A = this chain, B = another copy of it.
């Protein structure tokens, strides 16, 4: 048990650690060579093409020599706060803006709660010292003097705690309601303000029935012409293009080599680059590389176009899935919300996710296997949460020195060395656990993929839910009650339901120190590590030094990353849980939580503005989960407080708490009714209003052409795209213009396909297009471009 001093020391160490990270970040980020690591978002949005330099010499290209900038090393904080929320939405999308609101919600809930708890509860707890009398029996820390443990059993002072719990719940619910309302309004406004996009007019139809003698497109066409005669426009079939996708990858590799040799030749025009045609270029005939690869690519393109034709024409490769487009938002919204067939497992319609959000592999899963998949994954997640220690213990039992000796006896002389022996002894068993925890989110994502969801955003939300359960059981409960989750499960099965909250409730105040340390290590230092981006920094420089051959490679080496909702949101929910549970029990924990929320808010704001590039836009579809889990945390805290008070024999006051969970649940139900439909369905009123407005402003509009290729599998599009680029490049080369890199935005905005935002595909393939371009029509895009140019000019003048 830690004293207040211990906590203080720990806080200092962690603060120092966080501080060191921040210093490192401040120094590294102003080096031009790191510019693509710390400001990739601006590259992607087209506002920046090369690092800002202080002067033109060679050293200045890599190192910042302007000593003045070193003194203002914390100026990223006010910079991060400068951008308004509306600007963030425009710059990084609604998801990011709503994600930041989780942090402000944390502050709004916990800062007043902290003040209340510190002013009311800490004096109450300190003034009634039971623990002083018991000192000899129990090990009591200073922290416990400030916590509820210090209050004597049967004391009437527990009314204070119950009062504060009531006030706190009311306040939290009030803030939750306001925030849910705000987010719902933001979402609807965002949807209303969006320009025409394919997903607004499109519905994804799954389980198209197989009618003998009819192809899938015929069946779909006939069905929707019959049942939605007034609004049905066209549809797009979905192909099983796994083989073709492989070819696309191979061609990309060839293209890279070709680019590499062209670049090499340009740098050294006197020497023609050559290579060998044999295995790995080690033997075979020596040939002119450029010509060789050019020929190879041409051959390959021929094979690919054949394969492409095959995929598009072979009806066996056609999946029973289609993207059906309507001539109005109203028609699409109606089709998505209604049941089509009398067999409810056929013609399953739902709003189409945006094209870049689709997880194509899952489109083909038949309905009946979905139930089985969900069942299997449900059981697996349960097993994973409660029994994950079993395989790890097994691996650990193998991965010790004896095991190593048996498997690799020749290593024995080395493993006998004392230093290495003790290192391995300490290191190996932990390794398995660490590897497991590291890959856990990925494993959970794969599990969600097996469940068969067709949108990346849904997949991430499902993975986040699983991760939350894991953390709740293994981090929260696992830390409070010693022992593995499996042991807990076993003991819970053999305890009475009224005993469980008591068991947990009693040990809660004792674990406050642990969680304070956890908040500082995982929260404070972890967030500071987030802003430093050590991993992307190292990887970028490694790639830059060893692998980057072409400009495109450099672009690809630049990894902006994204807010990883499936990891960050569950962690955040854990902090909410900690704050809510300890608010009344050990209020001294709240300042640590508040500092975490404030600091993380700043860091993520900075990162969202300068670094991250979201993969998709779900318009805050995760908020109902955030809301729901905060409500769950409130319920858990009420239950545990009840258990704690029962163990304190506060029979007078405990019954007062019974009403609270019921009210909380009622509040949750109300919110669900009131707000959740806004996150699930597109109301007809909105759809109709938008349709009308559009018809008035653009009365002659060829929707069909716009929607024709919107939902083609990205690999087909990217192939077209590359062919286009290729031709353009050839033309450039013929004209002997030295700049090889083609401004993709221009090519795109001139192509008719992009008018409805399709360049977004290339995002997945290249990570290079602007995210805002997805929301902008060709017109907006070019205006963005104009602004981007102005920005660059401005920056150059500034430097």
Cβ of A132 within 8 Å of any chain B Cβ, yes or no, is no
Contact between B494 and A342, CB atoms less than 8 A apart: no
| Interface residue? A669 (CB, 8 A) | yes
Number of copies: 2
Contact among B334, B666, B685 for A375, CB-based, below 8 A: B666
Stretch touching chain B among A67-75, A301-309, A461-469, A675-683: A675-683
Interface residues of A in 435-494 (CB under 8 A from B): 492-494
From A253-261, A388-396, A496-504, A717-725, the one touching the partner chain is: A496-504
Q: Across the two chains, which residue of chain B brings its CB closest to A187? A: B342
A684 is an interface residue with CB less than 8 A from chain B:
yes
Q: A279 to nearest B CB, angstroms?
A: 51
Q: Is the interface of A mostly helix, strand, loop or mixed?
A: helix
User: Any chain B CB within 8 A of the CB of A614?
Assistant: no
* A674 adjacent to chain B (CB < 8 Å): yes
Bound form: Cα–Cα A682–B495 in Å: 48
Interface size of A in residues (CB-CB distance below 8 Å):
51
A152 at the interface (CB under 8 A from B): no
State how many angstroms separate the Cβ of A74 from the closest Cβ of chain B: 43
Contact A334 B342 (CB under 8 A): no
Quick check: B342 and A188 within 8 Å, CB to CB? yes
Q: Which of A227, A344, A665 has the most CB of B within 10 A?
A: A344
> Bound state CA distance, A685 and B493, in angstroms?
49
Whether the pair B340, A337 counts as a contact (CB closer than 8 A) is: no
**Shortest Cβ distance from residue A435 to the other chain B in the assembled complex, whole angstroms:** 30
* Contact, CB under 8 Å: A685 / B337: no
Task: Judge whether B662 and A379 touch: CB under 8 Å.
Answer: yes
- Interchain CA distance A223-B227 in the complex, whole Å: 24
Which chain B residues border A374 with CB–CB below 8 Å?
669
A670 neighbours in B (Cβ, 8 Å): 368, 371
Instruction: Please name all residues of chain B whose beta carbon is closer than 8 Å to the beta carbon of A240 when the two chains form the complex.
Output: none
Q: Which of A338-358 touch B at CB < 8 Å?
A: 338-342, 344-345, 347
* Nearest Cβ on chain B to A667's Cβ, whole angstroms: 9
Known: A344-B675, A677-B344. A230 touches B227 (CB 8 A): no
Q: Which of these, B334, B344, B371, B495, contacts A496 with CB under 8 Å?
A: B495
- Decide if B498 touches A496 in the complex (CB within 8 Å): no
Complex Cα distance A132/B221, Å? 74
List, in ascending order, chain B residues with CB within 8 A of A676's CB. 344
Whether A688 sits at the interface, judged by CB under 8 Å, is yes
- 20 A-B residue pairings within 8 Å (CB atoms): A226-B688, A227-B330, A227-B688, A334-B338, A337-B339, A339-B677, A339-B682, A339-B684, A340-B683, A341-B685, A342-B683, A342-B685, A344-B674, A344-B683, A368-B670, A375-B665, A375-B666, A493-B496, A493-B497, A495-B496
